[in-house]
Chain A
Amino acid sequence: MDTIGDAEIVVIGGGGIGCGVLHSLCQAGKTDVLLLEKNEALASETTSQAAGLVGQVRTSIERVELAMWSVKTFSEMEAEPEAKPGWRQVGSLRVALTDERVAEFEQMKSVADKAGLETAFISNDEAWAKWPMFDFSPAKSVLWCPSDGYLQPNDLAMAYAHRARKKGAHLATGVTVEGIRTENGRVTGIDTSQGVIACDTVINAAGAHAWHIAKMAGLHLPIFPVRHEYFVSVDAYGMQPELPVMRVPDASLYLRAEINGLLLGGWEPESLSLKPGDFENGQTPPHVEEDWDVMGWFIEQIAPLYGKAADLGVRSIFKGWPTFVPDGKFIIGESRKLKGFVMAGGCNAHGVSGSAGIGRHVVESMLEPAPSDYVRSLNPDRFLDSEWDAAEAQAKAKRIYETYYGLGH
């Protein structure tokens, strides 16, 4: 890793978002940039535990466009010979089990049409041809998006880092940020475990530690880690890596093949969340114990489509602390309260799939004279202009997790 020195822009956090933002800055011509990661390796906390699903079908056009940008970026990165993100454009199936969900899919399809994203309703037989181990008879509607897919989040972070380095960016690991230096209402540098770094801009992409970093800058933001888990099964009949990703929102589940096993995860109703102050800046968030009740709930939820899931051995459980915010929207951009302090967080478990698009929005918020209304709506000041109640904010953030696939999202 590189030695650290002063830089125009310092990105704090070496996960999917931090590396994605660094990459976007380099693409935009900002190459006097330094990324700091407190762990010994990049992407070692939340990113490497992510399932890597990349879905573009959303209820708002801005979110569809952001995901389409990510997909375009992943496809370009995968085409390069070195440092591939492991992007597989296998398509995705979205399965509705209720009439309300069918109506939502129809609305999502019209948003996709407006954004120029190809999608199609397919018959249950066509869905079965794509996932022959599943019983699609309970499905009321299946929406197919051929350009969706999945990638390897750890490889994605490494690929962003590799490309950014080639443009001149520096990355340093094992460096903890200890303070933000300000003068006359603007950022002038940061204190780190390896000394002071002078910089004009700090980008806070610290994931589960973004709250701590913002607090150092005197900004109090409602960013709550919520536990998320999924499992990978032993090899199962018919599973192979080219199967499309599947989402069954009425069952609150997502799944894909992991080589020859099944990867199954979801958003359980009784989620477990932390107050950000429950752990220190220098610590990793608390270790997550494997929660077998949650795994059992996933298996019950998938049973109508795939009863065999109950017979599969579990090879490994992945788990981490993605962050959620009370309104379920990203926190992106520079606060009016402190010039040079830019947020890139509150990803609500969209960090990996959205990373390229989020990086672009961060750049837009920083460098473009007139960012879009959408990008401006993500500004951290929405939480800084008025007081918010900690317990209420945490309850709302938790609710965003639990209703991840809720109607009207």
Chain B
Amino acid sequence: MKILIIAEHKNGQLTEATQELFGLSLGQAEVHAVVTGEGVEPLAAPLGQLGAAKVHLIDSPALASGTGESLGQALGQFIPQLAPDVVLAAHTPQGKDLAPRLAAALDAALATDCVQVSCDGDQVTARRPVYAGKATAEVEFTDDSLKVITVRPRTAKSPEPDATRSAEVAPVAVELLEQKTTLKEIIASDNARPDVTEASIVVTGGRSLGSAENFSIIEAFADSIGAAVGSSRAAVDAGYRPYRDQVGQTGKVVSPQVYIACGVSGAIQHLAGMRTSKHIVAINTDPDAPIFQLADYGIVGDLFEVVPQLTEAAKNRNGS
């Protein structure tokens, strides 16, 4: 079996998600990798150390910005030349965009967002979560046409690079047609705050904030301590925050080192999303709010008075 891994890179390094693809259970397959972009030759060596037998370089300034359209054209020309059985890409913004294009152009089978892939002899199987992760679908490929598979990051562990290994390197020439889209500019998100599921500190606001604008005091406090901003269901329901910030049974489940609940009463659905936090701090005007039963530290007070003071204290401590 011949497998082609589409390598992604950033700032001259292979991405973590790409390295992980080499950690999948690939059996005795012949593993190839393809790298696109400008000046990508130095990436051949690390790909070889991860286990690629042959690295194909599509080196072109036109591919430097890596739009889905240009990558789709380049790989759409290259893949039939190599004729692999399986194409693997990480389920990243690039992989998500590219895989359906390739599958359509090459009349291939497609399985996206897989959390398990195994290649055993001629047999390829994959598993992918459905119903928001409540169930798992097992995907079986019923004929021997090309299979395009994207793999969710963190599915496999990256193998340790083996310095004794190296790959054969082959430049590939492709002919890019006129592009219907061009990448003009990448604008960094002004939201430098960590994601609520990844942060070690989360500051959550509830409905008592009263408006979307008033969340600025929660944001200022979160920024002063490097925290993510979370939201109760009620505050999302009221339209103060987007769903991605919601903590609770129908939102995200978080388990930070410190969880600071500001004006959150502590409905059982909210507790379901944060009760495993290491340390819980609650600020609420109502001393009977159920959140205090779970909190390690409680402040009975008006968050509009308490939170700005905490922000001030954090800033003084930071020396700014």
Contact = CB atoms under 8 A, between A and B. Distances in A.
User: Which DSSP category, helix, strand, loop or mixed, fits chain A's interface?
Assistant: mixed
Contacts of B162: none
Interface string A184-195: 000000000000
Interface stretch (A54-62, A220-228, A257-265, A393-401): A257-265
Interface string B257-279: 00000000111110100000000
A315 interface: yes
B238 to A, nearest CB: 9
A24 interface: no
A315 B290 CA distance: 25
Interface residues of B, number: 22
B87 to A, nearest CB: 26
Nearest to A261: B250
A48 B269 contact: yes
Contacts of A165: 288
Contact of A41 (B130, B132, B233, B266): B266
Contacts of A154: 267-269
Given A155-B267, A261-B250, A290 B237 contact: no
B250 A315 contact: yes
Contacts of B249: 316, 318
Of A154, A155, A258, chain B has the most CB atoms within 10 Å of the CB of A154
A51 to B, nearest CB: 12
Contacts of B288: 1, 161-162, 165, 171
A292 B268 CA distance: 23
B243 A41 contact: no
A198 interface: no
B272 to A, nearest CB: 9
A43 B271 CA distance: 13
A234 B267 contact: no
A44 B250 contact: no
A248 B121 CA distance: 52
A126 interface: no
Given A235-B243, A241-B237, A259-B236, A44 B268 contact: yes
Contacts of A152: 234, 267
Contact of B286 (A162, A173, A260, A317): A162
A42 interface: yes
A162 B289 CA distance: 9
A300 interface: no
Contacts of B286: 82-83, 162
Interface in B223-255: 233-234, 236-237, 243, 249-250
Nearest to A2: B288
A25 interface: no
A34 interface: no
Contacts of B234: 86, 152, 155
Interface in B192-238: 233-234, 236-237
B315 to A, nearest CB: 32
A313 interface: yes
A40 interface: yes
A232 B251 CA distance: 11
A259 B233 contact: yes
Interface in B285-309: 286, 288, 290, 293
Interface in A151-176: 152, 154-155, 158, 161-162, 165, 171, 173
B268 A259 contact: no
Interface string A55-79: 0000000000000000000000000
B135 interface: yes
Contacts of B290: 40-42, 158
A48 B267 contact: yes
Contact of B268 (A48, A86, A314): A48
Given A48-B267, A313-B131, A260 B250 contact: no
Contacts of A241: 237
A203 to B, nearest CB: 21
A298 to B, nearest CB: 13
B134 interface: yes
A313 B288 CA distance: 36
Contact of A40 (B132, B135, B293): B293
B269 A313 contact: no
B250 A258 contact: yes
B231 to A, nearest CB: 11
Contacts of A42: 290
Interface in A90-127: none
A343 to B, nearest CB: 26
B250 A232 contact: yes
Contacts of B134: 290, 292, 313-314, 317
Contacts of A315: 132, 250
Nearest to A43: B268
Nearest to A83: B286
Interface string B110-149: 0000000000000000000011101100000000000000
Contact of A313 (B130, B233, B265, B271): B130
B250 A316 contact: yes
B132 A313 contact: yes
Interface in A280-294: 290, 292
Interface of A: 1, 40-44, 48, 82-83, 86, 152, 154-155, 158, 161-162, 165, 171, 173, 232, 234-235, 241, 258-261, 290, 292, 313-318
5 contacts: A41-B290, A41-B293, A43-B268, A155-B267, A241-B237
Closest 10 CB pairs of A and B: A313-B132, A48-B268, A154-B267, A41-B290, A314-B131, A316-B250, A44-B268, A313-B131, A232-B250, A314-B134
Given A41-B293, A154-B268, 16 more contacts: A40-B290, A41-B271, A44-B268, A48-B268, A86-B234, A155-B234, A161-B288, A162-B286, A171-B288, A173-B293, A259-B233, A259-B243, A290-B134, A292-B134, A313-B130, A316-B250
